[in-house]
Copies of this chain bind each other. A is one copy, B any other.
Amino acid sequence: MTAGTQNSVAGAGRTIISVDAMGGDKGPATVVAGISHSAKKNPDLGFILHGPRAELEPLVAKRRNLAGRCEIRDAAEIVKMEDKPAHVLRHGRDTSMWSALESVRNGEARVCVSCGNTGALMLLSVVRLRKLKGIYRPAIGVLWPSKNPQGFNIMLDGGADIRADAKDLMQYALMGTSYARNGFGLTRPRVGLLNVGTEEHKGRAELKEAFDLIAANAKHSDFEFVGFVEGRDLPGTRCDVIVTDGFTGNVALKTAEGIATLFSDLLREAFQYSFLSRFASVLAYPSLRRLKKRIDPRRANGGVFLGLNGTVVKSHGAADATGVSAAVKLAFELAQSGFTEKLAARVASATMLDQDGETDNSDNGDSE
Contact = CB atoms under 8 A, between A and B. Distances in A.
Interface residues of A, number: 61
Interface stretch (A67-75, A243-251, A359-367): A243-251
Contact of A270 (B194, B258, B290): B290
Interface stretch (A95-103, A175-183, A276-284, A344-352): A276-284
Given A199-B82, A230-B251, A253-B231, A287 B273 contact: yes
Contacts of A147: 262, 265-266
A36 interface: no
Contact of A294 (B159, B236, B266, B295): B266
Interface in A212-258: 230-236, 244, 246-248, 250-258
Contact of A231 (B84, B194, B258): B258
B280 A287 contact: yes
A291 B265 CA distance: 10
B261 A232 contact: yes
A291 B267 contact: yes
A286 interface: yes
A164 to B, nearest CB: 12
A54 interface: no
Interface in A95-138: 119
Contact of A277 (B159, B253, B269, B286): B286
Contacts of A90: none
Interface in A286-337: 286-288, 290-291, 294-295
Contacts of A64: none
A233 B258 contact: yes
A287 to B, nearest CB: 4
A136 B96 CA distance: 49
A258 B145 CA distance: 11
Given A235-B262, A271-B287, A290-B270, A256 B254 contact: no
Contacts of A234: 255, 258
A253 B232 CA distance: 8
B248 A84 contact: no
A61 interface: no
Contact of A196 (B159, B236, B273): B159
Contacts of A91: none
Contact of A162 (B196, B266, B269): B196
29 contacts: A84-B201, A147-B262, A162-B196, A196-B247, A196-B250, A204-B247, A232-B254, A232-B257, A235-B255, A235-B258, A235-B259, A235-B262, A236-B258, A236-B261, A236-B262, A251-B251, A255-B255, A263-B295, A266-B294, A267-B291, A270-B288, A270-B294, A271-B287, A273-B286, A273-B290, A280-B280, A280-B283, A280-B287, A283-B283
Interface of A: 82, 84, 119, 145-147, 159, 162, 194, 196, 199, 201-204, 230-236, 244, 246-248, 250-263, 265-267, 269-271, 273, 276-277, 279-281, 283-284, 286-288, 290-291, 294-295
Given A147-B266, A230-B254, A252-B252, 9 more contacts: A162-B196, A232-B261, A235-B259, A235-B262, A262-B295, A270-B294, A271-B284, A273-B286, A280-B286
User: 5 smallest A-B Cβ distances: which pairs?
Assistant: A231-B254, A232-B258, A231-B255, A280-B283, A270-B287
